[in-house]
Amino acid sequence: MPSRIPASLIASARGTFRCYIVTALCGLAAALFGSQVLGEQPLAAKFDEARQHFQPVTQQTVAAALAELQQRMQEVEQYIQPSSANGQQWLKYLKWNGLTERLKGDNPRDVEAFDSTLGRLNRSVNGTERAPFRRLAHALKRYRDTLAVSTWDKPAEIYNKQLDALQHAVDSYRQQPTPQNTAALSQRIRILDAIGQAPQLVDAVRHDLSQPNAFVSLSTAYIAAGADPIDRNEPVTDCILGTNVHSDTHTTGSISVAAIPSADRAVLDFISQGHTWARSVGYHSPAVIHSTSDTDFTARKRVELTDEAFSSQPARADATTDTHLQSVSKQGGGLGSRLVANAGWKRARQSEHQAEAIAADHAESRIERQFNDELDSKLSTARQQYLDDFRGPLDYRGNGPEYIHFSSTNNSVEIQTTQATRLQLAAPSLPPAAPAGHDIAMRLHESSINNYAAAVLAGASAVQTRPDEDVHFDVDLPSWMQRMWDKRKTQPTRDAAAKTEPFKPFLMTLNDTQPISVRFLDGGKVELTLHIAELYSGDNHFSNWNVTGTYTHELVDGRVRLHRDGKLVLLPADFKGKLDITQTGERRNLEKEFDKRSAEGHGFPQTIDVDPISPSGDLAKAGLLEYREFSTGGGWLTIGVDRQSRSSQVVYSEPAVIETSWSQ
């Protein structure tokens, strides 16, 4: 009979994503199937169409947006129960009093209260991802934007200038899709979307300029590695041709997985092959029949995977049974034993082939039922893990990918995505060729990480108030990210002068549109930038600075090690090629702050070690996953990992832990 099936098909990549994201390459992969490029002429036509269909914002439009906002506010109040202690905490967090007072005012240009509440709704705080808060955020943004546009003195003129600016940003991005041009174009898209006049143009720009930006491939060999070999002892009761049969069985066998090529979903056949030996006693009064049997079987069950559902078809089994009569006797013995035995032997031989066929049919039914129960249970668990550990983090607070697409080849499950919201850009180019021969292969464009980081860490603050406490974030990180942050290893530098500096409380708030960014450069280099909105260290205050470190990678015994090249680069967020006198002084002071924190072991990482991945669940038995390929270029990162059993055996004391050493 079939035995264990891998607990999760998709969860096999989960550890890879965790390690990758926490080293500030925080992103993940999944998928959009196909993306046709519209071409320049259709997009140009969309610009012309947008210019011709401008409609000024009327007071009726503003009133409708306000009515929707008030309705959503009532829904939130009903949801949180304002009179409760929890409700009071929510009202305070959302700055509810300021919002309600602002709605009573009559200055349409006063949007500070709107921005304060909207910022709180869009922060990574547990609960804000729930439907009432998301609907409120949408309604508040719509009212704020509609009200702002209604105050324009020459709306058509301003609108056309915004279209000109967007077209210029598109042209610049086409020529050179740098992070600066990407950010500029994304900002123009957000502005035009806020005006609310040209949604089709916004969609056309994104469709024209955004390709899928994350690809994952899982080999069927690795999926099958999570299956236990079949080795099972169990009693079986049956009735064959009026004979009640009680058997003790021993089943051995194996599970394999075959991928079926499919373009619109991943299709897998799970195949169970094995042998059952049985010792049986049959009762057909007055005869008692002792026998053994051998049953060979093959069972097959098809599983289909899409983003919407994991489903399966009923199992189908084929079995053949060969019985071996050992003895026939009279129940209880005594008078007539020989007569009963002779008659029993004769009848058993006459019906042997029929009995074997019936036994095989019954075995097929048991195998199918067992296979269905076991695999459907595993599939349900896999689906929940997919939602909790894969889809959930991607879709954090409604900022997940627009599409996730599954497909399958002859030997793998393929997942690809465009990890971007409606107002974000994805990859400007097609991915590099997929690496072959790995258990898991990934191709990640830097936009997938940057877009995900914006959803999770936008506006987040890193805080340290005492020298004996660790740095912590004031937002709720996804559980896997928090665990990896807690596990990280740090080393202070040998800067004795910096260590003698007294401790100063530290608060660093990241930018609320792009908190961190990563670039995958040619030559195996990775560039990591913190976009700092505010930084307080004691009495020192810094605003709007970018801090960048560039790393070169190497593969060491299945690990990825990133070495930082030289010192950090600190530049103002609006740097235009030259620092003024004030900025030069600020940078010198900011460098001192980073030197001090590095000496304490809390600075920017000098090295980042990513250890082999330790899978969980059924796949744990397959062993550690070692990094065998890690290459960068043209904005793409390509990763290949394989089971340790496929290469030399190396012992790691703490798998899947990020190790860093720190210095300025």
Give the range among 61-70, 89-98, 350-359, 562-571 with minimum mean pLDDT.
562-571
Residues 440, 13 contacting (CB under 8 angstroms)? yes
Band of the pLDDT at 17, cuts 50, 70, 90?
Answer: very low
Please calculate the CA angle 295-296-298 and round it to the nearest 5 degrees: 135
Instruction: Name the helix (H) or strand (E) containing 536.
Output: strand 525-537
pLDDT in tens, 164-204: 999 999 999 888 888 778 888 988 888 888 888 888 888 88
Residues 297, 363 contacting (CB under 8 angstroms)? yes
pLDDT at 322: 95
Interatomic CA distance for residues 474 and 225, integer angstroms: 40
Average confidence score pLDDT of the chain: 83
Residue type, 173: Y
Q: Does the structure show a pLDDT above 90 at 369?
A: yes
Interatomic CA distance for residues 226 and 246, integer angstroms: 33
Strand-pair partners of 440: 218, 641
- How deeply is 587 buried, as exposed, middle or buried, from its count of CB atoms within 10 A (0-12, 13-18, 19+)? middle
Q: What is the DSSP letter of 439?
A: S
Band of the pLDDT at 89, cuts 50, 70, 90?
Answer: very high
Q: What is the DSSP letter of 123?
A: S
> Which of 48-57, 302-311, 574-583 is most confident?
302-311
pLDDT at 180: 79
Stretch 308-328: mean pLDDT, rounded? 95
Direct distance between the N- and C-terminal alpha carbons of the chain, in angstroms, rounded to an integer: 61
pLDDT in tens, 585-605: 999 999 888 877 776 666 677
- How deeply is 333 buried, as exposed, middle or buried, from its count of CB atoms within 10 A (0-12, 13-18, 19+)? exposed
Edge-to-edge order in the sheet of strand 214-219: 404-408, 412-417, 214-219, 440-445, 636-643, 625-633
pLDDT in tens, 460-499: 888 888 877 878 888 877 766 776 666 655 555 555 555 5
Q: What is the DSSP letter of 488?
A: -
Interatomic CA distance for residues 153 and 108, integer angstroms: 13
pLDDT greater at residue 529 or residue 7:
529
Strand-pair partners of 521: 525
Strand-pair partners of 276: 251, 295
Residue 130 CB: number of other CB atoms within 10 A? 12
Distances (CA, A) of 176 to 180, 211, 347, 451, 579: 10, 16, 87, 19, 24
Interatomic CA distance for residues 517 and 496, integer angstroms: 32
SS3 content of the chain, % helix, strand, coil (to 5): 40, 30, 30
Query: Domain residues of the chain, as ranges?
Result: 36-209
